[in-house]
């Protein structure tokens, strides 16, 4: 198939998804929630087939020499699948994001303006591994009245196909068009997807900074970037070390391949001699690397300049000693990816200064960076974590998948009445 033929074929499919999305956006909340419940039931019924497909993906990926972090994201066991289905059910319990009136204002008597939340239209989501993301993204899209075109990595093709087949069964069970959720499987389709600006309203790439930049440079469609998760944890001189050690261990080891696990630990030099030996004993399974001052206290491998800008997604942690909060902030703002950054301290002023100066979507005080997650925030699920500055920022749930319209209703009002020397004044009276 030529690139032109592929584009035409994919454009026809995307148009079907656009039509299905417009129909979905008009449906009552109860119907959309029924669809999510039906999808959850279909996924549960198809669990054996889904897990078998994932096992085949994992086996093939191991033969191909997949990296350990990527394998961790690819693996979908029964517990993870059950959790993803539970997350979908939680989405059904969330308030309706469509139709919320954000502004209700009288411009003049009988002339009323409202700003009303509405769906974006069709989402294009490109991600690697993590087949459980299919469930999160599809259910959030349906709840928010959007269609979605999914493109998973080649390593997860079987898993994604099995998941989308179950999702289609759920949609069909409540008489909704399966075209609402579309799955692409080839790299060529990814390139074609980026050109479908007539049918796709937002692209969400989940991958490295380089991949996000590639997407941004090759599409006219707005892009919501989910880039690297190069997260830091700073242990201040006023930290409670009994609290700090479990936080560090959790932030690094609870799920090391997650984008919200830490890669660099910054330690104030005044408490390093007490903290570092305890930390080394608490993390025997983690490869620690340190700068020269760190290695004077504990015997570990030396860091290089590259370590400070590397997202390991593995049981590796780089450690750097700093002489001040300002030095920690400077390091984070230079090397960080604007994802999630944390401080451990009992000094409220230091915590406030950290929060005010660090540039990141998530800023945490005395807790693990692993809480940076849509499910843990009560969003039900997320389509990704946005590291860009404009909203939505951080975990993107339902609110990030709607936009708004200005709707104005009058009684024969014309603009000429409000211009010129005899212009009638507006009342501009808020009605909410």
Helix (H) or strand (E) holding 58: helix 47-63
Examine the domain organization and report whether 263 and 181 are in the same domain: no
Helix (H) or strand (E) holding 341: strand 340-344
Examine the domain organization and report whether 240 and 209 are in the same domain: no
3-state secondary structure of 73: helix
Burial of 428 (0-12, 13-18, 19+ CB in 10 A): exposed
Of the three residues 371, 393, 418, the one that is the final residue of a domain is 371
Task: Give the position of tokens 């390139």.
Answer: 191
Sign for the CA dihedral angle at 204, 208, 212, 215 comes to negative
CB atoms within 10 A of CB 299: 9
User: In the numeric block, which tokens belong to residue 5?
Assistant: 């033929």
For residue 225, the model assigns a pLDDT of 75
Nearest residue to 40 via CA among 97, 95, 75, 90: 90
For residue 255, the model assigns a pLDDT of 92
Distance between CA 425 and CA 369 in Å, rounded? 52
Q: Quick check: is 173 in a domain? A: yes
Examine the domain organization and report whether 127 and 247 are in the same domain: no
Examine the domain organization and report whether 210 and 80 are in the same domain: yes
**Number of folded domains that form the chain:** 2
Q: What is the CATH number of the domain that holds 202?
A: 3.40.605.10
Examine the domain organization and report whether 195 and 272 are in the same domain: no
Sign for the CA dihedral angle at 405, 379, 392, 22 comes to negative
**Bridge partners, 324 (sequence order):** none
For residue 227, the model assigns a pLDDT of 66
Examine the domain organization and report whether 212 and 283 are in the same domain: no
Q: Quick check: is 417 in a domain? A: no
Q: Quick check: is 69 in a domain? A: yes
Query: Which ranges in 106-232 belong to alpha helices (H)?
Result: 132-143, 157-173, 187-193, 209-217
Q: Quick check: is 431 in a domain? A: no
What is the extent of the structural domain holding 238?
Answer: 231-371
Sign for the CA dihedral angle at 57, 162, 208, 70 comes to negative
Q: What is the CATH number of the domain that holds 286?
A: 3.40.309.10
Examine the domain organization and report whether 38 and 161 are in the same domain: yes
Examine the domain organization and report whether 337 and 401 are in the same domain: no
Examine the domain organization and report whether 238 and 221 are in the same domain: no
Phi first, then psi: give them for residue 98, nearest 5 degrees. Answer: -90, 135
Examine the domain organization and report whether 249 and 209 are in the same domain: no
User: In the numeric block, which tokens belong to residue 194?
Assistant: 């980026």
Burial of 60 (0-12, 13-18, 19+ CB in 10 A): middle
Q: Quick check: is 46 in a domain? A: yes
Distance between CA 287 and CA 279 in Å, rounded? 12
Q: Quick check: is 378 in a domain? A: no
Looking only at Cα atoms, what is the longest distance across the chain?
Answer: 83
For residue 207, the model assigns a pLDDT of 76
Q: Quick check: is 40 in a domain? A: yes
Q: Quick check: is 191 in a domain? A: yes
| pLDDT tens digit at each of 432 positions of the chain | 687 788 889 999 999 999 999 999 999 999 999 999 999 999 999 999 999 999 999 999 999 999 888 898 899 999 999 999 999 999 999 999 999 999 999 999 999 999 999 999 999 999 888 899 999 999 999 999 999 999 999 999 999 999 999 999 999 999 999 999 999 999 899 999 999 999 999 999 987 778 888 998 999 999 987 767 899 999 999 999 999 999 999 999 999 989 999 999 999 999 999 999 999 999 999 999 999 999 999 999 999 999 999 999 999 999 999 999 999 999 999 999 999 999 999 999 999 999 999 999 999 999 999 999 998 998 888 888 898 888 899 999 999 999 999 999 999 999 999 999 999 999 999 997
**Bridge partners, 343 (sequence order):** 234, 365
Examine the domain organization and report whether 208 and 333 are in the same domain: no
Examine the domain organization and report whether 238 and 173 are in the same domain: no
């Amino acid at each position: 198939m030529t690139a032109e033929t592929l584009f035409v074929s994919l454009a026809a499919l995307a148009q079907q998804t656009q039509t299905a999305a417009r129909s979905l956006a008009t449906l009552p909340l109860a119907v959309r929630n029924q669809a999510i419940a039906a999808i959850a039931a279909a996924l549960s019924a198809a669990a054996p087939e889904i897990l078998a497909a994932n096992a085949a993906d994992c086996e093939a990926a191991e033969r191909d020499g997949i990296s350990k972090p990527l394998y961790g994201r690819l693996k979908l066991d029964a517990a993870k699948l059950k959790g993803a289905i539970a997350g979908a059910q939680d989405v059904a319990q969330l308030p309706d994001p469509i139709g919320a009136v954000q502004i209700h204002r009288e411009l003049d008597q009988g002339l009323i303006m409202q700003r009303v939340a509405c769906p974006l239209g069709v989402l294009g989501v490109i991600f690697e591994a993590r087949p459980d993301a299919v469930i999160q993204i599809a259910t959030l899209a349906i709840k928010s009245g959007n269609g979605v075109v999914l493109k998973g990595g080649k390593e997860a093709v079987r898993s994604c196909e099995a998941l989308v087949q179950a999702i289609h069964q759920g949609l069909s069970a409540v008489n909704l068009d399966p075209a609402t959720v579309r799955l692409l499987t080839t790299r060529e389709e990814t390139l074609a997807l980026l050109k479908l600006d007539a049918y796709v309203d937002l692209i969400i790439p989940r991958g490295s900074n380089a991949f996000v930049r590639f997407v941004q440079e090759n599409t006219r469609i707005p892009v919501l970037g989910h880039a690297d998760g190069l997260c830091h944890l700073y242990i201040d001189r006023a930290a409670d070390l009994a609290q700090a050690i479990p936080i560090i261990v959790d932030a690094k080891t609870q799920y090391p391949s997650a984008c919200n696990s830490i890669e660099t630990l910054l330690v104030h030099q005044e408490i390093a001699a007490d903290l570092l030996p305890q930390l080394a004993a608490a993390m025997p399974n983690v490869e620690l690397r340190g700068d020269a001052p760190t290695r004077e206290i504990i015997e570990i491998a030396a860091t290089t300049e590259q370590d400070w800008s590397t997202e390991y997604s593995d049981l590796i942690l780089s450690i750097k000693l700093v002489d001040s909060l300002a030095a920690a902030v400077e390091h984070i703002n230079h090397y960080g990816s604007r994802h999630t950054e944390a401080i451990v301290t009992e000094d409220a002023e230091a915590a406030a200064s950290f929060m005010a100066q660090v540039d990141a979507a998530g800023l945490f005080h005395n807790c693990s960076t692993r809480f940076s997650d849509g499910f843990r925030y009560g969003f039900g699920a997320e389509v990704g974590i946005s590291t860009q500055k404009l909203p939505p920022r951080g975990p993107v749930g339902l609110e990030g998948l709607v936009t708004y319209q200005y709707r104005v209703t009058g009684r024969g009002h014309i603009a000429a009445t409000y211009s010129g020397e005899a212009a009638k004044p507006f009342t501009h009276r808020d009605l909410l």
